[in-house]
């Protein structure tokens, strides 16, 4: 058996198309242009790449992009003042502070200073609590994108056994909450889980978010299961620098029913969902009905 490959790149393009449609409608019918502000502190090369593609894709769907680049030695007070200014700016509907921040800045403090309604990354403690209690919130982009692909593939997820490997606040925990919200029976596995292989073998849905190259071999996967590989790991293979996931794609694709590749799976969905969250935030801020299919 060969798994269906879930094409995240194509899926992300359809999400961006939907977002662009809503942006057009907001401009034409309401005279509002959704705006996303991205704050980058310092010169981390990976962060610079992310911020650049976020800005580019924001403009491509017709939204306003506001980029704020601050020096690595920016004080906490100055960063908080900028966030406060963006919180109070009615043309800004989404605010994203690119992580990681330089060591002298308190990430929790900065994230929790963003207005929860504009927290398009979904990391504010209020959004975490709202998601945990099944209320309307801003949902972290990577888990939201993973959920969209799972819903698209399965229709209903109700009653399915889901195993999430990884318990980070950014991916693992919100992913587990979303799956629970869709009535899966959810297990969160992590670095101290005993008999991980046996735990994974029970799953109809496996979400791997660990950051260890190809750690999940095909023989851990239940035949026909759906595999969402969140991991992005850069390794050397045959003298080349390549990206691989947390799942051993070569062996897993012969067992799984469906699987996301790396690259081209979850990765492209993350920025698409950031744009989706920004449109959602804009609609909510203006008391308009939310775009369908773009929220959890």
Task: Name the residues that contact ligand NAD, by CB under 6 A.
Answer: 142, 165-168, 170-172, 189-191, 193, 196, 209-212, 230-233, 266-267, 270
Question: Which residue number, 95 or 232, has a Cβ lying nearer to ligand NAD?
Answer: 232
117 touches 92 (CB < 8 A): no
Strands 240-244 and 233-237, bridge-based pairing: antiparallel
103 catalytic residue (yes or no): no
Least Å distance between CB 269 and ligand NAD? Answer: 7
| Torsion angle of C-alpha atoms 261, 248, 46, 93, degrees rounded to 10 | 50
Q: Which of 57, 98, 118, 253 is catalytic?
A: 98
Least Å distance between CB 196 and ligand NAD? Answer: 6
Q: Which of 18, 119, 121, 204 is catalytic?
A: 121
Q: How many CA atoms lie within 13 A of 284 on its CB side?
A: 19
Question: Which residue number, 147 or 266, has a Cβ lying nearer to ligand NAD?
Answer: 266
Residue nearest to ligand NAD (CB): 168
121 catalytic residue (yes or no): yes
Strands 185-189 and 161-165, bridge-based pairing: parallel
177 catalytic residue (yes or no): no
Q: 237 forms bridges with which residues in the sheet?
A: 240
273 touches 242 (CB < 8 A): no
Least Å distance between CB 133 and ligand NAD? Answer: 22
Question: Which residue number, 180 or 243, has a Cβ lying nearer to ligand NAD?
Answer: 243
CA gap 135, 127 in Å, rounded: 9
Would you state the structure tokens that stand for residue 205, as one six-digit string? 């849905």
Least Å distance between CB 47 and ligand NAD? Answer: 13
Active site residues: 54, 98, 121
């Amino acid at each position: 058996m060969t798994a269906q490959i879930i094409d995240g790149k194509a899926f992300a393009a359809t999400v961006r198309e939907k977002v662009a449609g809503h942006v057009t409608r907001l401009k034409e019918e309401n005279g509002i242009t959704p705006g996303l502000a991205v704050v980058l502190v310092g010169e981390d090369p990976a962060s610079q790449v992310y911020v650049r593609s976020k800005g580019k894709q924001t403009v491509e769907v017709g939204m306003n992009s506001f980029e704020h680049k601050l020096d690595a030695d920016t004080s906490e007070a100055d960063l908080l003042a900028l966030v406060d200014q963006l919180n109070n700016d009615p043309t800004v509907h989404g605010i994203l502070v690119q992580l990681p921040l330089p060591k002298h800045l308190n990430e929790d403090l900065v994230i929790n200073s963003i207005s929860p309604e504009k927290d398009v990354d979904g990391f504010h403690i209020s959004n975490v609590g709202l998601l945990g209690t099944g209320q309307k919130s801003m949902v972290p982009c990577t888990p939201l994108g993973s959920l969209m692909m799972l819903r698209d593939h399965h229709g209903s997820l109700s009653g399915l056994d889901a195993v999430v490997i990884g318990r980070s606040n950014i991916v693992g925990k919100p992913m587990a909450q979303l799956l629970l919200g869709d009535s899966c029976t959810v297990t969160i596995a992590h670095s101290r889980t005993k008999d991980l292989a046996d735990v994974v073998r029970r799953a109809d849905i496996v979400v791997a978010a660990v950051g260890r190259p190809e750690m999940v071999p095909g023989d851990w996967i239940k035949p026909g299961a759906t595999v969402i590989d969140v991991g992005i790991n850069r390794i050397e293979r045959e003298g080349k620098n390549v990206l691989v996931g947390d799942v051993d794609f070569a062996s897993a694709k012969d067992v799984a029913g469906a699987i996301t590749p790396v690259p081209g799976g979850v990765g492209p969905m993350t920025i698409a969902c950031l744009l989706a969250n920004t449109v959602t935030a804009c609609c909510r801020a203006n008391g308009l009905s939310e775009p369908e299919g773009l929220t959890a």
